[in-house]
Amino acid sequence: MTKRYADVIIDIAHEKVDRVFQYRIPEALSESVRPGVQVRVPFGNGNRERTGYVVDLSEEADYPPEKIKAVISVDEKGMTVEGRQIQIAYWLKSNYGGTTIAALKTVLPVKQKQKQLEKKKVLRCLSGEETAQAAGECERKNQRAKARVLMALQTEEELPYELIRQKLHVAASTLQALERQGYLRIEKEAFYRNPVKAGDRSETRPVLHQAQRHIIEDVLADYRAGHPGVYLVHGVTGSGKTEVYLGIIEEMIAMGKQAIMLIPEIALTYQTLLRFYKRFGDRVSVINSSLSAGEKYDQIERAKAGEIDVMIGPRSALFTPFANLGVIVVDEEHENSYKSETTPRYHARETAVEIASLCGASVVLGSATPSMEAYYRAERGEYKLYEMRERPGNSVLPAVHTIDLREELRQGNRSMFSRKLKELMQERLSGGEQAILFLNRRGYAGFISCRSCGHVMKCPHCDVSLSEHRNGILTCHYCGYQERKPAKCPSCGSPYLMGFKAGTEQVEEAIHREFPGARVLRMDADTTRRKDSYERILSAFADEEADILVGTQMIVKGHDFPGVTLVGVLAADLSLNRNDYRAGERTFQLLTQAAGRAGRGERPGEVVIQTYQPEHYSVVYAAKQDYRGFYGEEIAYRGLVGYPPVEHMLAVLIVSRVQEDGERLGREMTNVVKREMADVARLRVIGPAQAAVGKIADLYRHSFYIRHGEYQILVEAKDRLENFCRERELKGQTVQFDFDPMNTF
Ligand code: ADP
Ligand code: ZN
Ligand code: ZN
């Protein structure tokens, strides 16, 4: 029997219409209305035409048939949602909250079909040696972009056009000029699609060491035995994790499977991509935020058509509709950017595990500093754990100096730089080596500490730091506790009780003052606002156009600067005093990664960690590069206070136009949970209180937290709250859910 009715999700993100609406399928459309297609339908009292997504078909009407409206047309330009994507969308909605339409849009990277783009590649016309000479000439004439292209072509006979344009930051006109000069040739699609011969890829493969071979064989053996699992590779930076990913993916492709390779956007560098292009040729594709809709569409279509085997990209690459997915790799799995900051606030790691289980695929997680979540699960046997402790070759871990800033103040040093750091910077400048200065500014806003003794003002109930509000009131954003800011430090009586005000600009000024003539590059949110400026600064630094790179956390991620032999962390504990339970974990990760930036080349590196809390375990273990030591202390603390990953936490944010409305709704919602789930043992409801940032753009923000050992209990609480809000028909207020949040509201 033919299916005569379509279940449609209307493209309106509002709780009130967040359900399926049934429509009749007219005879003429009986072929084209299928699950996943976009349709135009009449909606509401005025029968306004709206777009919707068909999620299911049925034979029976759920209402009297004469009351059911008919589908108007199928939107031929709309992208189709694959059946599996619909399943994933429902999973996202159920596990992270939000509307179905928001979830559907999340799994659909491009909404509209686009014109296909041309594929191009760049081939060199001269020998490698001649190309190198030409590069040298350009260098002398200060034609840096041309030099970059020719340098890259010196070792590769051909490169994908988009790789050069995007990752080497070379304008199309520069490539055309090089073509006119006879150095290279740009070829179009027909050639590009020719399979690259294995020999042409000319990759020098290292002979894998025992640990690498073991992981690859183990993962594949499970897969072949029909038990794909989740694996965590804990290996210091440079220990050879990427080689492991390449090995697993290669075997998967040989079995006719495809792979998704997640990399934090910030680490999608030329070097990384080149390794994949070299191994897999044009069977690799990249999707990232700098692509236009047309380019994204093109990549998705190639994946659907089976033209590529590997999709590389940040979070959103997860939803690539491959027909035979074999493995999802999540590199740097601890990265915060794997958590979405818009509804549904999904975590790519958890979502990868779900998608893999739907597709019968394996999941490989990798990190030098695994998230507490991943390591905890590995310890409990949910993930299989592999450790890679050594770097191949003989590069050694750097020497670390921990400097107590309180002592510097006592010695009369009021500069941002400790005496040790100054001394080492001077050494580097005279020796022609490079240094990185890292200002850990994440979440520094508001916290108050004593500049004399390091004492931090904390909430007596929550063990998180208090934040200063403009009126001089210190507030705890977990429980709402408040106190007036004291005039003197309660611990030592010093009057220097204040926030840390230095930004990267001030650091740059201080360098110019103390080291006149030093060439400085600065990288922070201000200098990287323009597209590509991030990588331009990094390439300039890699080309040794500056002696010192100053920056925020962006500079410590996975970049290799062989010339850097000194890393200075200006105030290690700034991130410790964030009012949030992940502060210790973040600090440890940042410090460990920052330290890992020093001495990646031939020369050994040194690291200076300046801090007011040299005895804090995050600082101590980072200085020793001791992950297990850190993990042991941190997990004990999380267990003691009942924070993730030991227990789970649901954060609820209420945004309201009128302050009192938000307060009242917060009380009502917490009461709903307390009343309806009174029989659930050990369910904790904390708040409501004003959110960390109490008002943004004239909208008031209140939040509360629910904690329990079982995730599903929190899902149930979310469902009850969503029902409550739907019935209340909120006006001028919105509610957002965040499970196991990365940041507190
Ligand atoms: P990670 O991903 O852990 O940072 P990579 O896989 O990028 O590590 O390896 C770091 C460097 O060591 C790379 O230049 C890589 O080519 C090289 N390398 C990896 N495995 C080996 C090996 N078995 N023998 C020699 N060199 C290796
Ligand atoms: Zn003090
Ligand atoms: Zn508190």
Q: Which residues line ligand 1 (CB under 6 A)?
A: 206-209, 212, 235, 237-243, 392
Distance CA 82, CA 71 (A): 20
Q: Is the residue at 306 inside a domain?
A: yes
Overall domain count for the chain: 5
In this structure, what token pair is assigned to residue 680? 């659930």
**Which ligand has the minimum distance to the alpha carbon of residue 213?**
1
Question: Do 283 and 243 share a structural domain?
Answer: yes
Question: Do 669 and 711 share a structural domain?
Answer: yes
Q: Is the residue at 199 inside a domain?
A: no
By three-state DSSP, how is residue 229 classified? Answer: coil
Ligand 1 atom, smallest distance to 208 CA = 23
Task: Determine the distance separating the centroid of ligand 3 and the alpha carbon of 686, expressed in angstroms.
Answer: 10
Task: Determine the distance separating the centroid of ligand 1 and the alpha carbon of 626, expressed in angstroms.
Answer: 21
Ligand 1 atom, smallest distance to 243 CA = 6
**Which ligand has the minimum distance to the alpha carbon of residue 480?**
3
Q: Is the residue at 457 inside a domain?
A: no
Question: Do 347 and 240 share a structural domain?
Answer: yes
Task: Determine the distance separating the centroid of ligand 3 and the alpha carbon of 481, expressed in angstroms.
Answer: 5
pLDDT digits (tens, 9 = 90+) for 153-175: 888 888 888 788 877 778 888 88
Report yes or no: 258 and 309 within 8 Å, Cβ to Cβ.
yes
By three-state DSSP, how is residue 325 classified? Answer: strand
Query: Residue of the nearest CA to atom 4 in ligand 1?
Result: 238
Q: Omega of the bond prior to 644 within 30 degrees of 0, cis?
A: no
Ligand 1 atom, smallest distance to 246 CA = 6
Best residue among 242, 246, 269, 270 to mutate for probing ligand 1's pocket (most ligand atoms within 8 Å of CB) is 242
pLDDT digits (tens, 9 = 90+) for 547-566: 999 987 777 765 667 788 89
CATH of residue 418: 3.40.50.300
Q: Is the residue at 204 inside a domain?
A: no
Torsion region of 629: left, alpha or beta (phi above 0 gives left; psi -120 to 50 gives alpha) = alpha
In this structure, what token pair is assigned to residue 422? 């100054």
Query: Residue of the nearest CA to atom 24 in ligand 1?
Result: 206
Question: Do 95 and 59 share a structural domain?
Answer: yes
Question: Do 361 and 298 share a structural domain?
Answer: yes
Question: Do 513 and 426 share a structural domain?
Answer: yes
Asked if the model's pLDDT at residue 533 lies above 90, the reply is: no
Q: Is the residue at 668 inside a domain?
A: yes
pLDDT digits (tens, 9 = 90+) for 79-110: 777 778 888 999 999 999 988 888 988 988 77
Query: Residue of the nearest CA to atom 20 in ligand 1?
Result: 240
Question: Do 38 and 13 share a structural domain?
Answer: yes
Residue 198 neighbours by CB under 8 Å, 6+ apart: none
> Order of strands across the sheet with 258-262?
284-286, 310-313, 258-262, 325-331, 362-367, 230-235, 384-388
Write down the pTM of the prediction: 0.81
Q: Is the residue at 233 inside a domain?
A: yes
Q: Is the residue at 472 inside a domain?
A: no
Q: Omega of the bond prior to 688 within 30 degrees of 0, cis?
A: yes
Question: Do 130 and 271 share a structural domain?
Answer: no
Confidence of residue 197 (pLDDT cuts 50, 70, 90): very low
**Which ligand has the minimum distance to the alpha carbon of residue 612?**
2
Question: Do 729 and 636 share a structural domain?
Answer: no
H or E stretch covering 153: helix 144-155
Report yes or no: 197 and 175 within 8 Å, Cβ to Cβ.
no
Asked if the model's pLDDT at residue 261 lies above 90, the reply is: yes
**Which ligand has the minimum distance to the alpha carbon of residue 478?**
3
Report yes or no: 234 and 384 within 8 Å, Cβ to Cβ.
no
Q: Give the range of the structural domain holding residue 123, as residue numbers without chain letter.
A: 117-191
Residue where the block lists tokens 């492709």: 253
In this structure, what token pair is assigned to residue 464? 């998180």
CATH of residue 688: 3.30.70.600
Protein residues within 5 Å, CB atom, of ion ligand 2: 450, 452-453, 455, 489, 491-492, 494
DSSP for 22-88 reads: EEE--GGGTTT--TT-EEEEEETTTTEEEEEEEEEEESS-SS-GGG--B--EE-TTBPPPPHHHHHH
pLDDT digits (tens, 9 = 90+) for 386-398: 999 877 665 667 8
Question: Do 629 and 542 share a structural domain?
Answer: yes
